[in-house]
Amino acid sequence: MIQSNLLFLIIVGSFVAASSAYIGSIMVLKRMSLVGDALSHVALPGMAIAISFNLSPILGGFVALVIAVFGIWYLEEHSETYPDAIVGLFFTTSLAIGVLITDQPDLLEALFGNIEKINFTEGFITILISIVLLTTAVFLTSKITASLISEELAKSSGINTRLVNLIYLLTVGAVVALGIRFVGTLLTGALVIVPAVSARNIARGMRSYNLMSILFGVVSAFFGIAIANYKGFMVGPIVVLVSIAIYVLTFVVKLLPLKLNRQRY
153 touching another protein, by CB under 8 A: yes
CA distance 237 to 235: 6
CA distance 182 to 160: 33
255 touching another protein, by CB under 8 A: no
When binding is defined by CB under 8 A, the residue of 11, 34, 146, 249 that contacts another protein is 146
* Region at 159 (left for phi over 0; alpha for psi -120 to 50; beta for the rest): beta
Contact 257, 208 (CB under 8 A): no
Cβ count within 10 A of residue 127:
18
Q: Which is nearer to another protein, 76 or 109 (CB)?
A: 76
149 touching another protein, by CB under 8 A: yes
223 touching another protein, by CB under 8 A: no
For the chain, what is the HEC assignment?
CHHHHHHHHHHHHHHHHHHHHHHHHHHHHCCCHHHHHHHHHHHHHHHHHHHHCCCCHHHHHHHHHHHHHHHHHHHHHHCCCCCHHHHHHHHHHHHHHHHHHCCHHHHHHHHHCCHHHCCHHHHHHHHHHHHHHHHHHHHHHHHHHHHHHCHHHHHHCCCCHHHHHHHHHHHHHHHHHHHHHHHCCCCHHHHHHHHHHHHHHHCCCHHHHHHHHHHHHHHHHHHHHHHHHHHCCCHHHHHHHHHHHHHHHHHHHHHCCHHHHHHCC
Q: How far is the CB of 65 from another protein (least distance, A)?
A: 28
* Single-letter amino acid, residue 78: H
148 touching another protein, by CB under 8 A: yes
When binding is defined by CB under 8 A, the residue of 16, 65, 203, 235 that contacts another protein is 203
Q: Which is nearer to another protein, 65 or 154 (CB)?
A: 154
160 touching another protein, by CB under 8 A: no
Of 42-50, 102-110, 146-154, 220-228: span binding another protein (CB under 8 A): 146-154
Q: How far is the CB of 29 from another protein (least distance, A)?
A: 7
Site for another protein in 172-201 (CB under 8 A): 199-200
155 touching another protein, by CB under 8 A: yes
140 touching another protein, by CB under 8 A: no
Of 115-123, 132-140, 177-185, 207-215: span binding another protein (CB under 8 A): 207-215
Q: How far is the CB of 77 from another protein (least distance, A)?
A: 14
When binding is defined by CB under 8 A, the residue of 209, 216, 223, 247 that contacts another protein is 209
29 touching another protein, by CB under 8 A: yes
- Taking CB under 8 A as the rule, which mask of x and - marks residues 64-103 in contact with another protein? ----------------------------------------
The binding site for another protein (CB under 8 A) comprises 29, 142, 145-146, 148-150, 152-153, 155-157, 199-200, 203-209, 265
